[in-house]
C-alpha cells in the first residue's frame, strides 16, 4: 500500500494570532507526530483554521478527543435537545426550517453575540472549542475572535502589575438579563465560580486576560468598580487590532483556545439565510494546572458538570 505523505503547512492569518493549517484530513485518525504539530500551533497561535474538512459528528468528536476529554451537554435549545458532545449553532429547527426570531433557541443563541470565553462559568473552564461549518450564510454570520494574550501583552507594565493575582467571579447568568431572572437557583449556584483574571499558558508561559461577558465582579473590589474594570478590560481586548473575524466557508473547522481568546457570533439575515455549525468543547484542567505535556488521545468523556449548561 502506498503511503500518503501529508505536508502540513502553517500560515498566519492575522499579524498577532490565528494560523491556517493545510495538508491534513482531520476526519481520519491523526498520527501523533502530526498532532504534535497541531498542538504546538494551537499553543502558539491560539486559533487554528482548517479548510475543506468533511466532518460529521463522529469524526469531529474523534478529532476533538486528541485534545483531551470533551464536555458533555444535556438536552437544551443549544444542541437541539440532543444531549451529548455536540452543540449546534443554528437558526434552523429540527425540521431544517428557519426558526422565528422570537423562538427561545434563537433568543438564547443571540447571547453568543456578546464577547465571551466558553464555559468560563464552570469550575473547570473549557480548554478549547471546535466549530465546524455545515451550512453557512453567503453574507454575515462571521465569528469574531480577539486575542486576550496580545491585549495583555500590550498593557502598560503598571496595569499588568495591578491585575496580577486578582480573581473575578464568573456567572452563567447576567444580572441585567430579564430572561435570567427565573433561572434554576441550584444551577445558578453551581455556575458561579472564581477565576483568575490573568491566565498563563503552561506550555509557553504567556499570559492572557481572562474576561468577557460571564466575568461580573472582581473579588475584593466594590461591585460597580469591579464591573467597570471588567468592561474596560473586555473593551481593551476587543479593539480592532486584536480581532480576527472569521468568514465561514463550507467545510471550515476552527479550533480556539478559550484560555487566551474571546469570541462572539455576529449577526446575519436570519430570516433569509441558513446557518449551522457544530461545536465540540474540550474540557480544561483545574485552572492553570500543569498541562505542559501534549494530551493523550481520549476515548472517555468528562463527567457532565451540570444538568443545564448553555454554552
Which residues of the shown chain bind ligand OGA in the complex (CB under 6 A)?
A: 89, 112, 118, 129, 131, 143, 263, 265, 277, 279, 311
Query: What does each C-alpha distance from 253 to 100, 124, 161, 281, 282 come to in angstroms?
Result: 27, 24, 37, 13, 15
**Stretch touching Mn ion by CB under 5 A, among 72-80, 102-110, 111-119, 219-227:** 111-119
Nearer to ligand OGA by Cβ, of 14 and 246: the residue is: 246
Between β-strands 128-135 and 87-90, what pairing exists: parallel, antiparallel or unpaired? Answer: unpaired
Q: What residue 171 binds from ligand OGA, Mn ion, none (CB within 5 to 8 A, per partner kind)? A: none
Q: Which residue has the cell 473549557?
A: 126
Nearer to Mn ion by Cβ, of 190 and 279: the residue is: 279
**Stretch touching Mn ion by CB under 5 A, among 46-54, 110-118, 137-145, 229-237:** 110-118
Residue 113 C-beta: closest distance to ligand OGA, Å: 8
Q: What residue 265 binds from ligand OGA, Mn ion, none (CB within 5 to 8 A, per partner kind)? A: ligand OGA
Closest CA to 13 of 4, 5, 22: 22
Residue 279 C-beta: closest distance to ligand OGA, Å: 4
Residue 18 C-beta: closest distance to ligand OGA, Å: 15
The reply to whether 69 sits near Mn ion by the rule CB under 5 A is no
Residue 281 C-beta: closest distance to ligand OGA, Å: 8
9-15: Cβ within 8 A, 24+ apart = 10/37, 10/41, 10/45, 12/45, 13/49, 13/244, 14/147, 14/244
Q: Supply the DSSP string of 193-242, one letter for each residue.
A: EEEESEEE-TTT--EEE--STTEEEETTS-HHHHHHHHHHHHHHHTSGGG
Nearer to ligand OGA by Cβ, of 53 and 143: the residue is: 143
What gap in Å lies between CA 272 and CA 96, rounded to an integer?
13
**Stretch touching Mn ion by CB under 5 A, among 12-20, 115-123, 236-244, 284-292:** 115-123
Dihedral through CA 93, CA 98, CA 102, CA 105, nearest 10?
Answer: 30
Q: What residue 76 binds from Mn ion, ligand OGA, none (CB within 5 to 8 A, per partner kind)? A: none
Nearer to ligand OGA by Cβ, of 128 and 193: the residue is: 128
What gap in Å lies between CA 243 and CA 175, rounded to an integer?
27
Nearer to Mn ion by Cβ, of 69 and 118: the residue is: 118
Number of residues that bind Mn ion (CB under 5 A): 1
Q: What residue 89 binds from ligand OGA, Mn ion, none (CB within 5 to 8 A, per partner kind)? A: ligand OGA
Cell numbers for 120, please give them: 468560563
What gap in Å lies between CA 60 and CA 199, rounded to an integer?
27
Residue 87 C-beta: closest distance to ligand OGA, Å: 6
The reply to whether 257 sits near Mn ion by the rule CB under 5 A is no
Q: Please, are residues 233 and 209 in contact by the beta-carbon 8 Å criterion? A: yes
**Stretch touching Mn ion by CB under 5 A, among 83-91, 114-122, 229-237, 299-307:** 114-122
- Phi and psi at 306, nearest 5°, equal -160, 160
The one among 118, 217, 252, 257 contacting Mn ion by CB under 5 A: 118
**Stretch touching Mn ion by CB under 5 A, among 25-33, 113-121, 174-182, 224-232:** 113-121
Cell numbers for 69, please give them: 476529554
Chain residues binding Mn ion by CB under 5 A are 118
Amino acid at each position: 500500500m502506498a503511503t500518503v505523505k501529508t505536508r502540513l503547512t502553517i500560515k498566519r492569518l492575522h499579524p498577532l494570532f490565528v494560523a491556517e493549517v493545510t495538508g491534513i484530513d482531520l476526519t481520519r485518525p491523526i498520527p501523533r507526530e502530526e498532532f504534535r504539530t497541531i498542538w504546538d500551533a494551537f499553543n502558539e497561535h491560539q486559533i487554528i483554521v482548517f479548510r475543506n474538512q468533511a466532518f460529521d459528528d463522529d469524526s469531529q468528536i474523534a478529532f476533538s478527543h486528541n485534545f483531551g476529554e470533551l464536555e458533555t451537554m444535556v438536552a437544551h435549545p443549544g444542541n437541539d435537545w440532543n444531549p451529548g458532545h455536540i452543540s449546534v449553532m443554528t437558526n434552523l429547527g429540527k425540521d431544517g426550517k428557519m426558526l422565528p426570531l422570537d423562538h427561545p433557541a434563537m433568543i438564547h443563541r443571540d447571547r453568543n453575540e456578546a464577547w465571551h470565553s466558553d464555559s468560563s462559568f464552570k469550575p473547570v473552564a473549557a480548554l478549547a472549542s471546535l466549530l465546524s461549518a455545515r451550512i453557512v450564510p453567503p453574507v454575515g454570520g462571521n465569528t469574531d475572535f480577539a486575542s486576550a494574550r496580545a491585549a495583555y501583552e500590550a498593557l502598560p507594565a503598571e496595569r499588568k502589575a495591578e491585575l496580577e493575582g486578582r480573581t473575578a467571579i464568573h456567572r452563567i447568568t447576567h444580572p441585567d438579563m430579564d430572561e435570567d431572572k427565573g433561572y434554576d437557583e441550584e444551577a445558578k449556584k453551581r455556575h458561579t465560580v472564581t477565576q483568575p483574571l490573568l491566565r498563563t499558558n503552561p506550555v509557553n508561559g504567556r499570559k492572557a486576560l481572562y474576561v468577557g461577558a460571564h466575568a461580573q465582579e472582581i473579588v475584593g473590589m466594590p461591585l460597580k468598580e469591579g464591573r467597570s474594570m471588567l468592561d474596560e478590560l473586555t473593551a481593551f481586548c476587543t479593539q480592532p487590532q486584536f480581532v480576527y473575524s472569521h468568514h465561514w466557508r463550507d467545510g471550515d473547522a476552527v479550533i480556539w483556545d478559550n484560555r487566551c481568546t474571546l469570541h462572539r457570533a455576529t449577526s446575519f439575515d436570519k430570516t433569509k439565510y441558513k446557518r449551522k455549525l457544530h461545536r465540540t468543547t474540550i474540557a480544561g484542567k483545574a485552572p492553570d494546572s500543569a498541562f505542559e505535556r501534549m494530551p493523550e488521545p481520549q476515548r472517555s468523556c468528562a463527567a457532565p458538570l451540570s444538568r443545564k449548561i448553555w454554552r
